[in-house]
Amino acid sequence: MNAQLESSLYYDPYDFDIDANPYPIWKRMRDESPLYYNEKYDFYALSRYEDVAKCLRQHEIYSSAKGTIMELIKADFEAPPGMLIFEDPPMHDIHRDLLRRVFTPRAIAAIEPEVRKFTTQVLDPLVGSGGFDFITDLGAEMPMRTIGMLLGIPESDQAKFRDYSVQGLDLEEGAPPKNLQFRFNNEDGSPVEVNELFGEYLDWREKNPSDDLMTQLLTIEFKDEKGETRRLSREEILGYVRLLAGAGNETTTRLIGWTGKVLADHPDQLAELAKDPSLINNAIDEILRFEPPSPVQARYVTQDVEHYGQIVPKGSVMLLLNASANRDERKYQNPDKFDIRRKIDQTLTFGHGIHFCLGSHLAKLEGRIALEEVLKRFPRWKIDSSKAKQANTSTVRGWETLPVITY
| Confidence check: pLDDT of 19 > 60 | yes
Residue 239 resides in a domain: yes
| Residue 32 located in a structural domain | yes
pLDDT bin (cut points 50, 70, 90) of residue 134 is very high
Task: Report, in angstroms and rounded to the nearest whole number, the Rg of the chain calculated over CA atoms.
Answer: 21
Is the pLDDT reported for residue 355 higher than 50? Answer: yes
Percentage, residues of the chain above pLDDT 70: 90
Instruction: Tell me if 23 is assigned to some domain.
Output: yes
- Assign 181 a pLDDT band (cuts: 50, 70, 90): very low
The CATH number assigned to the domain holding 200 equals 1.10.630.10
**Contact (Cβ atoms closer than 8 angstroms) between residue 67 and residue 86:** yes
Q: What average pLDDT does the segment 218-230 reach?
A: 92
- Please provide the size of the chain in residues: 407
Examine residue 5 and state whether it is found in any structural domain, yes or no: no
The answer to whether residue 8 sits within a structural domain is no
Give me the pLDDT at residue 102, please: 77
**Contact (Cβ atoms closer than 8 angstroms) between residue 218 and residue 205:** yes
pLDDT surpassing 90 at residue 157: no
Structural domain range at position 102: 16-406
For 283, list phi and psi in degrees, rounded to 5: -65, -40
In a domain, 9, yes or no: no
Is the pLDDT score of 46 beyond 80?
yes
Q: Is residue 10 part of a domain?
A: no
Amino acid at residue number 144? M
Overall number of domains in the chain? 1
pLDDT of residue 78: 82
Global pTM reads 0.92
Residue 84 counted as domain residue: yes
